[in-house]
Structure 1
Amino acid sequence: MTGETGFVGRRLAARLEALGMEIVGFSRSTGGDLLTGDLPLEGAGHVFHLGALSFVPDSWTDPANYHLVNTHGTVRVLDQCRRAGVPMTFISTFVYGAGAPVPVSEDFPPSPANPYAWSKLAAEDACRFFAGNFGMDVTVLRLFNAYGPGQKDSFLIPTIARQAVDPSVKEIVVADLAPRRDFVHVDDVVEAMISTIGMSGGGTYNVGSGRSYSIGDVIAACLKAAGTSKPYSDRGERRENEVMDVIADISALTAATDWRPQIGFEQGMKSVIEAQAIC
């Protein structure tokens, strides 16, 4: 597994170990380098490739490096899996852009809204090339807005949760209240990933909750979970190429694997608030 020390990777590794599987990791934090290193694939039965540069705002200031790590790094992982004869699951992202229908299915033409999504789409193309030309079993999962305990503080939901539980914060402030997102809990993401083990031929699938919620909905759910009430506002900051509403059509993955999200929105936000309270 690449990226096993990241937000989703840690959760996936713990779940796989609980299922009795042996995990071998490869990440920057433990000395691994997607651009130069060799994956420890001897005896491997499946590779989950999560390793990537992933913070969208940073991708606008360093698009070339995002493309290098996320795209060429994925090509190197694919080639090593090809030579070792190991199937792979690649973790991608929302690649559809502002013109996407709601909900959006996998056959809608991609139009990446930021350099991070562009680098992931290019990596997806590499996955499909290796699958089509080398006969590899490669599954692409397009994660929508994954959240849950353990996510970095720089992301939206941890930022809201931190303000909700902090008694010194009298008003919750975010950049923009307008966008709506398909928020999917990290544990549901993990189960979606596990469902791809043994999937013959692979394919490309959305992973989301199948519903969208506003930023105000997130704040309200966090405040409810925290048992408090605070006013909230935004700074009126609209991100470049902002997508205003997002819902994943998840019917394809459900049909292929029987996977369905199990963690409701309020239940998921409660898990984030509880994690903040422990911190």
Structure 2
Amino acid sequence: MGRRLTARLRALGVDVAGFSRSTGGDLLTGELPLEGAGHVFHLGALSFVPDSWNDPATYHLVNTHGTVRVLDQCRRTGVPVTFISTFVYGAGAPVPVPEDFPPNPANPYAWSKLAAEDACRFFAKTFGMDVTVLRLFNAFGPGQKDSFLIPTIARQAVDPSVKEIVVADLAPRRDFVHVDDVVGAMISTIGMPGGGTFNVGSGKSHSVGDVIAACLKAAGTDKPYSDRGERRENEVMDVVADISTLTAATGWRPQVEFENGMKSVIEALAPC
């Protein structure tokens, strides 16, 4: 996501200074390259939900304390921040869910992000910083790590040695939002004053079964698929973002339809 954000900003004529593990950056010890900066997009985090159950303390340290360090450096230099959060509402959330519905994180990753959100709102209120929180629903697209659901399914769809696609559970529905739409939402927050919190999604939900069917269609193949009937702890069965608040504030709207988004994932896996 960071690479696509950087590419979009540079295409708009914006100078970009990156800070990531790939360039030697460390949220817990490093100093951000803020000289001359006009805006900071804070995407850095540990984000794989299954791993968060095994090590919640490290997720909290990196995602929460790391965010406090980013905020404090930006406070001292007067640079506005857009913080990338996640779905923090949990089971029982209405469909679609608005930003003012009470949070109830369903896993340690979401809990660490909610704690970081609280830090964002504290810095905005107490220090008068311009800090915008974007709650991403299920972002996907080319370049996503192989361990995530959609890349896992897509690789099985294009692999001729895989005769049947098997997943844990076909039923859960998620609001899948394409990375290019997420980038558009982030860019829309440049110049936004105050400390707002906004959902970022497609405004629709699709099941895991829908994802498989769309990937198979994009790959031009047909394979059987099934699930093992395994339901995750604290599973949320249907998720849809109410995106009206961000649309009203910035005019942003998602542009990439679900099947076109899956096609972009499949095309990125094609051999050169």
Normalising by the residue count of structure 1, what TM-score does the alignment of the two structures yield? 0.96
State the partner residue of 1:95: 88
SS of 1:278's partner is coil
For the pair 1:159 / 2:152, whether they are aligned, the reply is yes
Partner of 1:270: 263
Following superposition, the deviation at residue 236 of structure 1 comes to 1.7
The residue identity in structure 2 corresponding to 1:267 is N
Matched AA of 1:102: V
The partner residue of 2:52 within 59, 71, 77 is 59
How far off its partner does 1:79 sit? 0.4
* 1:27 matched residue in structure 2: 20
The residue that corresponds to 1:198 in the other structure is 191
Displaced runs of 4+ in structure 1, greater than 6 A? none
1:169 aligns with 2:162: yes
* Structure 1 vs Structure 2 CA RMSD: 0.8
Which residue identity is paired with 1:10?
R
Shift of 1:215: 0.7
CA contact 2:96–2:241 (8 Å) conserved in 1? yes
Secondary structure of the structure 2 residue equivalent to 1:211: coil
The DSSP-based 3-state class of the residue aligned with 1:71 is: helix
Question: How far apart are the structure 1 equivalents of 2:30 and 2:152?
Answer: 34
Pair 1:251 & 2:244 matched: yes
Q: Is 1:37 aligned to residue 37 of structure 2?
A: no
1:48-127 alignment, distance < 5 Å: 48-127=41-120
**Correspondence for 2:176:** 183
For 1:107 and 1:278, locate their aligned partners in 2 and report how far apart those are by CA, in whole Å: 45
Query: How many angstroms apart in 2 are the aligned matches of 1:25 and 1:240?
Result: 36
The total of aligned residue pairs comes to 272
Residue 124 of structure 1 aligns to a residue whose secondary structure is helix
Q: Quote the Cα distance in structure 1 between the aligned partners of 2:166 and 2:269.
A: 17
* Structure 2 residue runs without a partner (length 5+): none
- In the alignment, the residues of structure 2 paired with residue 233 and residue 174 of structure 1 have an alpha-carbon distance, to the nearest angstrom, of 7
Conserved? CA contact 2:125–2:195, under 8 Å: no
SS in 2 for 1:202: coil
Query: Which AA in structure 1 matches 2:220?
Result: G
Cross-structure match for 1:5? none
* CA distance in structure 1 between the aligned counterparts of 2:132 and 2:107, rounded to whole angstroms: 23
Question: What is the rounded CA distance, in whole Å, between the counterparts of 1:228 and 1:273 in structure 2?
Answer: 12
Output one character per residue of 1:230-259: Cα deviation in whole Å (capped at 9) or x when no partner. 100112221111111000000000000000
Matched letter for residue 232 of structure 1: Y
Q: After alignment, is 236-245 or 92-101 more displaced?
A: 236-245
State how far apart, in whole Å, the 2-side matches of 1:33 and 1:153 are.
23
CA contact (8 A) 2:174 2:207 kept: yes
Counterpart CA distance in 2 for 1:237 and 1:62 is: 22
Following the alignment from structure 1 to structure 2, what is the Cα–Cα distance between the partners of residues 40 and 148?
28
What SS is found at the alignment partner of 2:270?
A: helix
Alignment partner, residue 16 of structure 1: 9
- For the 8 Å contact 2:121–2:195, the answer to whether it is kept is no
Percent of matched pairs sharing the same residue: 88
Cα shift at 1:202? 3.4
Q: Which runs of 5+ in 1 are unaligned?
A: 1-7
How far 1:278 moved relative to its partner?
A: 3.1
